[in-house]
Amino acid sequence: GAGVSQSPSNKVTEKGKDVELRCDPISGHTALYWYRQRLGQGLEFLIYFQGNSAPDKSGLPSDRFSAERTGESVSTLTIQRTQQEDSAVYLCASSLVESSTDTQYFGPGTRLTVL
Amino acid sequence: QKEVEQNSGPLSVPEGAIASLNCTYSDRVSQSFFWYRQYSGKSPELIMSIYSNGDKEDGRFTAQLNKASQYVSLLIRDSQPSDSATYLCAGSNQAGTALIFGKGTTLSVSS
């Protein structure tokens, strides 16, 4: 079937605005992950969903960041009052088994630019 | 010690040579490891996973895991210009809720 999809592919916003990033995982994958990749850096973990629950939110950098998942499918990452340091590529991944020991498949990412 | 460390490179090898990419990890990383390849502007794609001590081969790629030394490596035989990319080493955290990534090693294969 189709891979992980994300939208929008690019988002330019002004400092202080809110943004929503969407992830559609591979059908049937129960685990969903959000990561952030700043320019020239590795991936930073943000949040992990097991079904619709988020047992690990430890990577969310501040309370301006939140995420939800519905129907054990689509997930939305929301960043409120965006700051310039939020500029990065936000990557979503999913895996069949609810453990990060299982292979994660990544979406194409959303490139967020905060002016 | 950082949780997963890689030499950022760039690592430059001529076409046809063996490229050796290395990664070390801390006690906070459990012993499930993944090598991802990332082309510029693209998302990571899985190359190899390795869970047990020793070597695992898949085509031109061989992953090696040494738990005693907390060391993971990826060997690429007969390197091709199309292998030029950033290679990300990742390990699972102890809780099994996230991958911990190194910053990546940039490989350049010249023809």
pLDDT of residue A1: 55
Give yes or no for B40 touching A (CB within 8 A): no
pLDDT tens across A21-59, in order?
A: 999 999 999 999 999 999 888 899 999 999 999 999 999
Q: Chain A within 8 Å of B18 (Cβ-Cβ)?
A: no
pLDDT recorded at residue B7: 87
In the predicted structure, residue B2 carries a pLDDT above the cut 80: no
Query: In 3D, which of B86, B110, B97 has the Cα closest to residue B23?
Result: B86
Strands (E), B27-110: 29-38, 45-50, 54-58, 61-66, 71-76, 85-93, 99-101, 105-110
pLDDT-based confidence at A20, cuts 50/70/90?
very high
User: Residue B100 carries which side chain, given as an amino acid letter?
Assistant: I
What's the pLDDT tens digit per position in B46-74?
999 999 999 999 999 999 999 999 999 99
Residue A2 has pLDDT above 90, yes or no: no
- Does A1 or A48 have the greater pLDDT score? A48
Phi/psi at A85 (nearest 5 deg)?
Answer: -70, -5
Kindly tell me if the per-residue pLDDT of A100 is higher than 80: no
Q: Cβ–Cβ of A59/B95 closer than 8 Å?
A: no
